[in-house]
Structures are given as structure tokens and as C-alpha cells.
A and B are shown apart, each in its own frame.
Chain A
Amino acid sequence: MALQTTSEVVSFARKLEEDGANYYVCLARLNPRYEYNFQLYAKENRNNIKQVQRVYYEVISDAIEGCFAFNMDVTRFLFEGLPDESSDLGNWVKRAIDIEIKTAEFYSEAAKECKSLMAGIPRIFSTIARKRDNRITELKALLSSNTE
């Protein structure tokens, strides 16, 4: 699945964030001990959608190469639905780490592709990718504390 227009890339980012948010909402429900943190992740995902959309709408008049700035095969960034609810927290967190790595890679690659052409859009993509790195570190710490 190759994306070429900015509208497509923004829609794909929205899908990744929404799927991710749903994942964390489920995680929060299944693990009341960590509910606050997982809900925070879900909230942050939704905020990322807003930020991307806001920047896109604000700069699209300057980013005149909007229909030609990308050529991204995004199939590898997609992730399947939710794990079995009976799976233990470790499995869920491992999966979350995988989701975050893929999502960070998507944003980094998208930023790289449209650098120099799309005004503020590569900057917001890079910012969100960096935020993902922090989250991956936190999830890894959670995983190790649960397996010790």
C-alpha cells in the first residue's frame, strides 16, 4: 500500500493513533493497576491526531507539493487487532512496544520523505516520533518490572 498524497499520509497517521489509543484503552481496562498510565497514552495518541491535523491544515497552503511529497509503502507499519484478553500483561506490553516501534518508524520515515517540501509537517512528525522513543523506554521498564 503506497501513499503519495499528504491527505493519505495524515489519514494513515490518524488510523495508527486511533488503533493505538484503542489498544491502550483495552490495556487500561484489563490492568487497573496501570490504568492511569495507559489512559494517558490513549489520550496522548488522540492529541497527536489533533496536532498532526492542525499542522497539516495550517501549512497545506505553503506545502504546495502536497500531492507529490510522499512515496511510502506503509503496509509494514500496520498492526493486527488486540491480543486475547486472557493473555498476560507481559504479552500485551510486548505487543505495545512493537506497535510503538512501528509507529515511530512511520513518523520518522514520513518526516524524512517530506523534509524540505512540506513546511511544518516534517517537524511535527519528528516530534511525535521522538515522543514514541520515551514511551518505548517506559514500556520496556514496565515489562522488565513485571518479569522480575
Chain B
Amino acid sequence: MTVLEEPLKEVLSLKNYIDGQWIGSVGETQDVINPATGKVIAKVPMSTVDEVNTAVAAANNAFLEWRMTPPLARARYFFRLRELLEENFETLSRIQTMEHGKTIDESRGETRRGIEMVEVATGIPSLMMGYNLEDIASGIDECVVYQPLGVFCNIAPFNFPFMVPLWFSPFAVATGNTFIVKPSPRDPISQVKLCELVDEAGFPPGVYNVVHGGAETAGSLLEHSDVKGVTFVGTSNVGRAIYQKCGETGKRAIVQGAAKNFMVVMPDADVNNTIASLMTSFYGNAGQRCLSGANLVIVGQDDKFYNEILERFLDATARIRVGYGLDESIQMGPMQSLDGKDRVTRYIEKGIEEGASLVIDGRTPEVIGNYPDTCFIGPSVFVDVTPDMTIAREEIFGPVASVIRVRNLDEAIRLVNSSKYGNGNAIFTSSGKAAREFQYRVNSGNIGVNIGIVAPMAFFPFGGMKDSFFGVLHGQGRDAIRFFTESKVVIQRWF
């Protein structure tokens, strides 16, 4: 067992990054705790309304000059940032493990995903092009150009502290807007480290800003009249309120909410590969992701197949090594917070109360290494789950699998579509026909075929339907380019 060296040696006092400068906040501070070791690793300020206003003013002032910077010149800043991210790849990854708790493999995956967003943004001269047509009428030409709008912000969640703001900020800034990130106060350090690299890459002051804080800070950003658009990833309840607020204040919004994802296993699935995919789907990131598997739906009336899949799933689940993510042998880290662990525990109790059978109980996990068990919880599996049970309907956001048996694919699809969420659902099968049927009929923003985590790449939009998404255009890819720009039509005739 090799425990990698921690890159953070002292308790950091985090500052805001406004107008190209690191500025201390007068707001109260909150501890940032490594959920595996229980140690305080940073103090994060809760920024005041005045500090938010200062950041918005700086971003607004920077906008005019930045939007006039040629797209190719803007892209070059991102080429420099990309190189700096590569140079700091390992440090950034280890920081994520320290502040969030995820395993080092998962953190490296997150770092890579973040870098991929930056890489796509370097293609902005091509991505941002408009189109035109000569002679729409005799001697008259028409064209459409895409123009940036001003200040955008991201209110970030705790589950992917490095990557999620990058779903938006490179696209916003590359298209000529300016940006403010409000990291989650639970794990804001990797955003600070990212911003240090933004600073080193030489972005002009005010183009990229970081303001720390909680709900009040987010509220100030939402209220501000100079903020043209908001991006948010979090719970559906908060997301719905943010979307309403953006409607009232005339802001654009990308709001990604909660999920309850179904992993549908057909009788013709490749069992070995399916089990590996299910492990990462249900237990990766300790189940704290909106693309995690939550309900394992085993299809068919063949008892032998049902028992085989269930047995293999339980066996693999029982062998998962839980511990500190910087230990390379660990497969699942702790929950990011004690609150998260308590929430999962409550859902497990609810499942028992409603009559499901808890066949693997993660509430008292064996933790590898000498760490306090404060935030650790092991994987749990319920069988005999019915679709009406709370654990089958609500997002648990933790490593809990609910096994549901259905007779056929049709029943499975109806079950998936009965959920109020529609985020990342998957089918495991060797049948193209079954896969096509699933892809065609399931109401979900992201569909997996033999993929347990349906995470779209940077050049595709991150989908979401029903209560999992509020908005029209999505983050990443061409959708993001359209979201962060306004189309302007020019019709011209010369006498």
C-alpha cells in the first residue's frame, strides 16, 4: 500500500481573486476539512455583498477590452493555461483528493476532464464563427455573428470541485465574456490553485475572478443586474429556485439538478465487463455524482441469470477497499462531509423501514489505514426494492444500490421513464435492437450503452431532462458557445 504525499502542508487562508489580484475578505471564515483525515486544510471566507459587487464591477470593466481581443489572441491564453495545467496535473489531482476525498484515480480523471474543456476552448476561432448568405434578395446579403454578452458566473457544487466550473468558464471566457467562479465552500482549494495558473497564464485583470462564499454570496451574484447569466450544478430544489430567479431578472441560465439513474442489465449482457462498470457507476466518487447508478434493474424471468448478476454484484461490492484516496489501493473514499454521511444513513434507515432487504450494510465500514471514521461509509446494497419506495425514487447521493427486478425491457423502460429525473441512464446488453429501443424511448439527457457513467466529452453538451435540468442550452460543446453568445443578424445593401 502506497500513500502518496500530500501537496498541502499548511492550513491555507484562502483569498478572493478579483481584478487580477488576491484580496482578503472581511467575511467570516469556514474550515475546509479533509474528510479522510479530519484535519483542517484551509480557511475559506464567506464574501460580503460589497466584495461580490467589487468582483462584478471588475468583470464588467474588463469586458469591453476583452471582447475586442481577437478570438485567436484569446485562444492563446488558453493554450498557455493548458500547458500550466499539464505541468501541475498531479498536484491539482492530489489537492482534489485532499479536499473532497475521492480516490487518486478519480481525481486524475477529473483533472483530465477539466483540461479537456480548456483544450476545446482553444478552438474558439472556428467554434465561434457565424454564417452568411449572399443575395438573400438581389444585391442584399445577410450574415449572423455571435457576440459575447458580458459577465457570467458559476455557482459550483462540491462533488467535482475542479472540473465543474470548467464546464463553463473556458467557453464563456474564450467567447469574449468575463467570468466569476464561486466555488463550493466545502472544497474550494482546487479552484484557487486553478486560478493561480490563470493568473500565471496572464489573463487580463477582471477577465477571470473567484469569489468565495456560501448561499448568501451566490444570492448576491444572482441579484446583480450586471451579471448576464448564471451556471449552476446542484440539487433540483435549489436549481429550480435559481432558474426562477434568473427568469425574473432576465438572466440566461444553465441549471443542472439532481438525478436518480437506472442501470438496466439485460440477460445477454457481458457479465465481467458489466460488473466492473457497475462498480464504478454505483460507488465511484462514493456515489456523489449526478451520473451515478442508483437503481440496478435486472431484466428477465430467468432466475439463474438474476442470481448470477446479483451474486457477482454483491461479491464485487463486498470487496471494495474503503479508505483515504491518496492510498493508491483504495477504490472508494469517504463522503465529502459528515452531513453527506448522515443523509445516506437516513436513507438506509428509510429503506429498511419501508421493507427493502439490506444485504450489504455500509454503515460501519472497514476503513483501510488509521483514519477517523467520521465521514466514511461503505457501499450498501438493498434487494427486494419496489419502485414506490423512497430509496428507489429519491436521490441518495451516496454509495447505495437498490436492486429491482423486472420481467422485460418494456417494463424496464417504463420504470426508468417513471422517474421525475432524467440524467444518465444506461443499458447493458449485447443486443443492438435492445440498445436502440432503450436509446430511443428513454427520457434522459444522457444515455449509456454498456457505459455506467455517461459523462459527455467537452465537445458534446452535457444533457439532462425533466427535473435534472432547467434551461434550454447545455454546458460544454456547441451548446455552451451558443449559450455564452448572442446571435446578431446583419442585412446589408450598398447603393
Contacts and interface: CB of A to CB of B under 8 A. Distances in A.
Interface of A: 3-8, 11, 56-61, 63-69, 116-117
B89 A57 contact: yes
B330 A5 contact: yes
Contacts of B104: 7
A94 B113 CA distance: 45
Contacts of A63: 109
A59 B115 CA distance: 12
Nearest to B333: A67
Main secondary structure of the interface of B (DSSP, over half): helix
Nearest to B2: A11
Contacts of B279: 65, 67-68
6 tightest A-B CB contacts, nearest first: A66-B105, A61-B112, A68-B279, A67-B331, A7-B328, A61-B113
A7, A11, A57: residue with the most chain B Cβ atoms closer than 10 Å: A7
B429 to A, nearest CB: 15
Main secondary structure of the interface of A (DSSP, over half): loop
A93 B332 CA distance: 43
A60 B2 contact: no
B108 A60 contact: yes
B329 A4 contact: yes
B109 A66 contact: yes
B116 A61 contact: yes
A66, A67, A116: residue with the most chain B Cβ atoms closer than 10 Å: A67
B21 interface: no
Nearest to A63: B109
Interface residues of B, number: 28
Interface in B146-205: none
B284 A64 contact: yes
18 contacts: A3-B329, A4-B321, A4-B331, A5-B328, A5-B331, A8-B329, A11-B328, A59-B112, A61-B113, A64-B453, A65-B280, A65-B452, A66-B106, A66-B280, A67-B103, A67-B332, A69-B276, A117-B276
B455 interface: yes
B99 interface: no
A145 B298 CA distance: 62
A61 B453 contact: no
Contacts of B331: 4-5, 67-68
A64 B280 contact: yes
Given A7-B105, A117-B276, A64 B329 contact: no
Contacts of A57: 89, 108, 112
Nearest to A68: B279
A65 B106 contact: no
Interface in B63-117: 89, 103-106, 108-110, 112-113, 116
A27 B295 CA distance: 57
Contact of A60 (B109, B328, B452, B455): B109
Given A58-B112, A67-B105, 17 more contacts: A5-B330, A5-B331, A7-B328, A57-B108, A57-B112, A60-B105, A61-B113, A63-B109, A64-B284, A64-B452, A66-B108, A67-B332, A68-B316, A68-B331, A116-B273, A117-B273, A117-B276
Contacts of B105: 5-7, 60, 66-67
B108, B276, B453: residue with the most chain A Cβ atoms closer than 10 Å: B276
B29 interface: no
Contacts of B103: 5, 7, 67
B30 interface: no
Contacts of A67: 103, 105-106, 279-280, 284, 330-332
B329 A65 contact: no
A65 B452 CA distance: 9
A39 to B, nearest CB: 28
